[in-house]
Amino acid sequence: MECLRCGTCCTAPDITAMGKPLGVRCAHLTDTMQCAIYDERPAVCRGYRPDEICLSIAAPTMGERVEKYLRLFDM
Protein backbone atom coordinates (compact mmCIF):
# COMPACT_ATOMS: atom_id res chain seq x y z
CA MET A 1 0.00 0.00 0.00
CA GLU A 2 0.97 3.61 -0.35
CA CYS A 3 2.10 5.70 2.61
CA LEU A 4 -0.70 7.96 3.85
CA ARG A 5 1.81 10.42 5.31
CA CYS A 6 0.19 10.31 8.70
CA GLY A 7 3.54 10.67 10.47
CA THR A 8 2.81 8.04 13.09
CA CYS A 9 5.76 5.75 12.34
CA CYS A 10 8.04 8.78 12.78
CA THR A 11 6.47 9.57 16.14
CA ALA A 12 5.27 6.49 18.00
CA PRO A 13 8.24 4.06 18.07
CA ASP A 14 11.55 4.72 19.73
CA ILE A 15 14.42 4.97 17.27
CA THR A 16 17.66 4.07 19.00
CA ALA A 17 19.80 5.09 16.03
CA MET A 18 18.66 8.67 16.57
CA GLY A 19 18.09 8.66 20.32
CA LYS A 20 14.39 9.27 19.68
CA PRO A 21 12.23 8.23 22.63
CA LEU A 22 8.89 6.42 22.40
CA GLY A 23 5.96 8.67 21.50
CA VAL A 24 8.08 11.71 20.65
CA ARG A 25 7.83 13.25 17.20
CA CYS A 26 11.09 12.88 15.27
CA ALA A 27 12.87 16.20 14.99
CA HIS A 28 13.25 15.58 11.25
CA LEU A 29 9.54 15.13 10.52
CA THR A 30 8.36 18.24 8.71
CA ASP A 31 4.98 19.94 9.06
CA THR A 32 3.95 18.27 5.80
CA MET A 33 4.85 14.87 7.29
CA GLN A 34 7.92 14.37 5.18
CA CYS A 35 11.41 13.37 6.26
CA ALA A 36 13.75 16.36 6.20
CA ILE A 37 16.80 14.05 6.01
CA TYR A 38 15.29 11.55 3.60
CA ASP A 39 18.53 10.77 1.75
CA GLU A 40 20.47 10.34 5.00
CA ARG A 41 17.76 8.73 7.15
CA PRO A 42 18.88 5.76 9.28
CA ALA A 43 18.57 2.16 8.10
CA VAL A 44 15.62 1.46 10.38
CA CYS A 45 13.65 4.21 8.61
CA ARG A 46 14.76 3.01 5.18
CA GLY A 47 13.49 -0.46 5.93
CA TYR A 48 10.05 0.66 7.10
CA ARG A 49 7.23 -0.05 4.65
CA PRO A 50 3.58 0.94 4.87
CA ASP A 51 1.30 -2.03 5.48
CA GLU A 52 -2.06 -2.89 7.02
CA ILE A 53 -0.89 -1.48 10.36
CA CYS A 54 -1.14 1.99 8.85
CA LEU A 55 -4.82 1.41 8.25
CA SER A 56 -5.49 -0.11 11.65
CA ILE A 57 -4.02 2.91 13.47
CA ALA A 58 -5.90 5.48 11.39
CA ALA A 59 -7.45 8.22 13.54
CA PRO A 60 -8.18 11.96 13.26
CA THR A 61 -5.32 13.15 15.45
CA MET A 62 -1.66 12.25 15.84
CA GLY A 63 -2.21 11.65 19.56
CA GLU A 64 -4.87 9.04 18.84
CA ARG A 65 -2.79 7.37 16.12
CA VAL A 66 0.26 7.17 18.38
CA GLU A 67 -1.86 5.73 21.17
CA LYS A 68 -3.27 3.06 18.84
CA TYR A 69 0.20 2.23 17.47
CA LEU A 70 1.71 1.84 20.94
CA ARG A 71 -1.23 -0.26 22.14
CA LEU A 72 -0.90 -2.50 19.08
CA PHE A 73 2.71 -3.27 19.98
CA ASP A 74 2.11 -3.42 23.75
CA MET A 75 4.34 -0.42 24.31
Residue 50 binds ligand SF4, judged by CB under 6 A? yes
Asked if 62 and 5 count as a contact pair (C-beta separation under 8 A), the reply is no
- Does residue 15 touch ligand SF4 according to CB under 6 A? yes
8 part of the interface to ligand SF4, by CB under 6 A:
yes
Residue 66 near ligand SF4 by CB under 6 A: no
Tell me: does residue 17 bind ligand SF4 (CB under 6 A): no
Cα 55 to Cα 16, 17, 18, 36, 37: the distances in Å are: 25, 26, 26, 24, 25
In 3D, which of 63, 68, 72, 71 has the Cα closest to residue 24? 63
Q: Which residues bind ligand SF4 (CB under 6 A)?
A: 3-10, 15, 26, 28-29, 35, 37, 41, 45, 50, 54
